[in-house]
Amino acid sequence: MLIGLVLALSFSISAYAQEGVTAYDETQLTSLYRSLLKYPNDEYIQKRITDERSRIKAAIEKEVRKLSETVKEPAPPTDGQELPSAIEQQRTVVTGLEERLKERKVNVDLLLSEEKKYYGEAPAPEATDGEEFRLAKTHEELLAKAAIDEERISVLESVLSLEKERLSKLNRDQWLVQFGDIIRILTWIGILVGIIILERTIRSIIAHRIPEPERRYVATKLFTTATYTIVTVWVLTTIVAENPGILTSLAIVGAGLAVALQDVVKDVVGWIMILQKRLFTIGDRISVGPYTGDVVDVTLLRTTMLEVHSSTDAAVQERTGRTLIMPNAAVLTHDVVNFNQTSDYIKAEMGFTLTLDSNWQKAEKVLKNIVENVTGTYTNAARRQYDVRTRTLFVKQDPSGPQMYMDITGDGIAVRLRFTIPIGMRREVITELTQDILGRFAKEKDISLAYRTSMVYSTEHPAPPLFDPQE
């Protein structure tokens, strides 16, 4: 429709410029101005002149409208391929109107100059020189011609304003066609950035209002997951609705991205494996290849852990204060050790040696009593967790209570205590046990701790024989 209107106006203005100004009947207007010159204050004559000028203006507008309707409007363009030619044609229309308007204004100025020269307060004396170059032979004829040109200027200014506006609209349309994709992409980026900022702000508010760590983590995770799930569905739905044939393109692009982003795909598969197999969850202490730590967050691509001292014995592992960011793909290529799979407790051992002359029966009772008092609550909690967490696993043996093992060595009676402690609390529990054992042994006269000793013999004073040969 826009192109058709442009073509029609172009044809109209071209025809208008070629045919020149239509000659209107100036007789009536000239007669009215002749009467006005005789009776300058006659309101009736002034009204008649105003009506006649309105009629002439309407005829001029009708003429332009008729010329613009001589071309049938074609179908609107489906893309921006026709815009450059339409803009060029519209620019030609505007230029033609500007030239025509300028010409009319010059003509009016000449008429006014001629009026001032010949019919002003001090008219020029009658002369025959240059009479053939005058635009009007009489004053009333000059006024009539000036009035018609003024009305034509009014129409041209109105049409020119409209055509300039249409040219500006075409330029905007072309600019949108050229930069539409960029604008659309920037708009989407702006919306997504706004959503991210809003999501983080609301998540921060939620986190500050929930004091409990577990509830706070679950609430923030649920909110974040729900937000981005809704946004993803909305974006995909909008894109598919605006571009129905984009599914095929997305399939091709997806295949290419799967090849180019293999590591990202592996991370996503690893995340699915973590959730589906329940390899670990928040709060578990795990060891995956070179990574060992306490899990504090699991996302689509990465798992965040608080690093602990690298050791295969979880009982002696302690946090280093650093944070580990592990790619989820690591669970696909490395063994996963979960220290919290069956319970949050682990077996630890403590060993020392008694002298051979110690009362080992009493020592056994004392040690079992101390270990039971210190670690008994841990053993009961471990059993409860074990019963719950191994319901889906094939496990026959339940966790046993504290155990004491003894062996005779060259240094004395080797004692090894085995007991249950919370993961990562070996040093605290061992310290408490050591303090209780040393305090209790100090009260017992027939129980002593053995320690390595050595004897030195001098060659000047040989050692006495172990027995007398004479005896």
Residue spans of beta strands (DSSP E) within 151-290: 285-288
Q: Is residue 457 part of a domain?
A: no
Q: Quickly count: other Cβ atoms within 10 Å of residue 29's Cβ.
A: 23
- Answer yes or no: do 47 and 173 share one domain: yes
- Answer yes or no: do 279 and 171 share one domain: no
- Answer yes or no: do 359 and 333 share one domain: no
Q: Is residue 383 part of a domain?
A: yes
If DSSP states are collapsed to H, E and C, what string results for 418-460? EEEEECCCHHHHHHHHHHHHHHHHHHCCCCCECCCCCCCCCCC
Tokens read off for 30 = 């000239």
- Answer yes or no: do 38 and 142 share one domain: yes
Q: Is residue 306 part of a domain?
A: yes
| CA separation for the pair 291, 326 (Å, rounded) | 7
- Answer yes or no: do 178 and 291 share one domain: no
- Answer yes or no: do 52 and 117 share one domain: yes
Q: Is residue 107 part of a domain?
A: yes
Q: Is residue 197 part of a domain?
A: no
- Answer yes or no: do 52 and 115 share one domain: yes
List the CATH number of the domain containing 371.
3.30.70
- Answer yes or no: do 394 and 419 share one domain: yes
- In which residue are the tokens 């790619």 written? 327
Position 431 scores a pLDDT of 93
Tokens read off for 378 = 């841990």
**328 - beta bridge partners?**
none
Residues 6+ apart with CB under 8 A from 285: 292, 293, 294, 295, 308, 314, 317, 338, 339, 340, 423, 424
- Contact between residue 296 and residue 326 where contact means Cβ atoms under 8 Å apart: no
| CA separation for the pair 4, 86 (Å, rounded) | 9
Residues 6+ apart with CB under 8 A from 60: 22, 151, 152, 155
- Answer yes or no: do 232 and 166 share one domain: no
- Answer yes or no: do 20 and 120 share one domain: yes
| CA separation for the pair 153, 100 (Å, rounded) | 9
Phi and psi of 322, rounded to 5°? -100, 165
CA 29 to chain centre: 71
Q: Is residue 377 part of a domain?
A: yes
What domain range is 358 assigned to? Answer: 345-443
Reference 156, options 102, 90, 88; nearest CA is 102
- Answer yes or no: do 37 and 108 share one domain: yes
User: What total of structural domains would you count in the chain?
Assistant: 4
Entry pTM: 0.47
List the CATH number of the domain containing 278.
2.30.30.60
Q: Is residue 193 part of a domain?
A: no
Q: Is residue 59 part of a domain?
A: yes
| CA separation for the pair 189, 237 (Å, rounded) | 17
pLDDT in tens, the chain (471 residues): 434 444 444 444 444 444 444 556 788 888 888 888 888 888 888 898 888 888 888 888 887 666 555 433 444 444 555 778 888 877 887 888 788 888 888 988 888 888 888 887 655 554 444 556 778 888 888 888 888 888 888 888 888 888 888 888 888 888 877 777 787 788 888 888 898 898 888 888 887 888 887 788 788 878 888 888 898 888 878 877 777 666 666 677 777 776 777 888 889 999 999 988 889 988 888 999 888 899 999 998 999 999 987 655 555 667 888 999 999 999 999 999 988 888 888 889 999 999 988 999 999 999 999 999 999 899 888 888 888 877 766 666 666 788 999 999 888 899 999 999 998 888 899 999 999 999 999 998 889 898 876 656 666 655 566 555 554
Give the three-state DSSP class for 416. Answer: strand
Residues 6+ apart with CB under 8 A from 326: 288, 291, 302, 303, 304, 305
- Answer yes or no: do 154 and 16 share one domain: yes
